[in-house]
Structure 1
Amino acid sequence: MSQSLSRRLFAEGIGTALLLATVVGSGIMAETLAGGNIAVALLGNTLATGAMLMVLITMLGPVSGAHFNPVVTLVFAIKRDISVRDSALYVVVQIICAVLGVWLAHAMFDQAIVQSSMKIRSGSGQWLSEGVATFGLVFTILATLKARESFVPVAVGLYITAAYWFTASTSFANPAVTIARSLSDTFAGIRPSDVPAFIAAQVAGSLLALAVAGWFLHSTKDVKA
């Protein structure tokens, strides 16, 4: 059944807000409890984020598609699965609610609501990592939709869990997440001046994934096991 635009936007908004509250909140909690062990802190941050993604995509996917990510919305707009108007509204809601999710995390941990990150995330390795992370995320979504649509929540959650560890940037792979995390001077933060390069790499990775998936999935559509 087709969902009204207001319901879809609400789903995108609450999903993105909860995702960012999880990313930032679990980062604060993990850093507090890890006693200076960065690997343990990252593991806690990773597990919480991957688990929350699976939950959010499962429950909100049937309503809005559970994008929670401007580049995912961009890809589906290019594929004409969502209109230009609706995709623009999705992106606006994703960014606003990502920021609200960060502020919610700050409030829960009795931190200053408005912050600006001082955490440097720059350099060719970081930019390449964001391109790779976003390529993998979008390719995972598109390929899993074709192979086994019901498995998308698990596939995305597992992919992000892995990408936190195999990429130097810890896999932001999402412009709304990147913007919002620049407003948190915590474990999950990113310096605002580093945001544009991250977003450029994310857009490039998503478009490359769309092109590769278009060729790969089309070329294998008639192949039988």
Structure 2
Amino acid sequence: MAATLSPGDTGLQLLQNSVATAFALGALILTFGPVSGAHFNPVVSAADWWLGRRHGTGLTGRDLAGYAAAQTLGAMAGAVLANAMFDLAPVAISRTERTGGHLWLGEVVATAGLLLLIFALVRSGRTAAAPAAVGAYIGAAYWFTSSTSFANPAVTVGRVFTDTFAGIAPASAPGFVAAQLAGLVVGVALVAALYPTAGAAAGDAVVPQGDAAGSRR
């Protein structure tokens, strides 16, 4: 949509993408938080498992594997659906190359910052603010990182399947995923240093998950 409305204006396209992402992400967290805790990101799920393992909170290893598979398949399906909605080939492999140390560093910063934000909210009991806070962070990170803040291995894989402004070429994706995993390590280390007891509340990341009656897990 951004490329159609603002052809040739990369800056405006980036603004349109960042605004849409920020608002949509907040809405999705509100919608799916009661179902899955709004885990849309394998690195967030991995941090939740790692930080919560000693306390018996957060995801189990089996949950983590299932979540990561569902997140990746969901991102791929989302790209196919978006292509179809805008009358493009359902599967269109991206030709947009995104590579270089400065972009990978941007992904490390974006991913580590996202984890720090989420677990700061969890540790301080402010998970109700997660939809707005996470959406705002990702929207802002489009602009303050060199990589435009994918910050999500599942999203990176999904974007391979769209040859649009948001896409990433298959050859560029492994570098982004590796940088995001590095950001996971940095982020977990920062959370452990700044919020040593965050793992005790890991079950509330991203937001508390409830059953059909609305109770916490």
Shorter-chain TM-score range: 0.7 to 0.9
Report the Cα distance in structure 2 between the residues aligned to 1:57 and 1:185, rounded to whole angstroms: 27
Q: Indicate the residue corresponding to 1:67 in structure 2.
A: 39
- Tell me, in whole angstroms, the C-alpha distance in 2 between the residues paired with 1:111 and 1:168: 28
Q: Does 1:114 align with 2:91?
A: yes
Contact 2:123 2:197 survives alignment (8 Å): no
| Cα offset, 1:219, TM superposition | 8.4
CA apart distance, 1:35: 2.9
1:14 matched residue in structure 2: none
Q: How many residue pairs were aligned?
A: 192
In the TM superposition, what whole-angstrom CA distance separates every residue of 1:45-69 from its partner, at most 9, and x where no partner exists?
A: 1101000111111221122111111
Look up the equivalent residue of 1:135 and give its one-letter code: A
Query: What is the CA–CA distance in structure 2 between the aligned matches of 1:219 and 1:92, rounded to whole Å?
Result: 29
Counterpart CA distance in 2 for 1:210 and 1:48 is 28
Residue 210 of structure 2: aligned partner: none
Q: Which residue of 2 aligns with 1:223?
A: none
Question: Match for residue 180 of structure 1?
Answer: 158
Runs of at least 4 residues off by over 2 Å:
none
> Shift of residue 143 of structure 1?
0.6
Specify the alignment match of 1:85 in structure 2.
62
Decide whether the 8 Å contact of 2:107 with 2:179 is kept in 1: yes
Letter in 2 for 1:203: L
Per-residue deviation, 1:30: 0.7
Q: Does 1:202 align with 2:180?
A: yes
Question: What's the Cα RMSD here?
Answer: 1.3
The code of the aligned residue for 1:108 comes to: M
Note the alpha carbon deviations across 1:89-142, whole angstroms, 9 max, x for none: 111111111101000000000100111111010001010000001011111111
Higher relative contact order (CA 8 A, sep 6+): 2
> What amino acid maps onto 1:132 in structure 2?
V
Percent sequence identity is: 48
Give the secondary-structure state (helix, strand or coil) at the position aligned to 2:196.
helix
What is the CA-CA distance between 1:206 and the residue it aligns to? 1.4
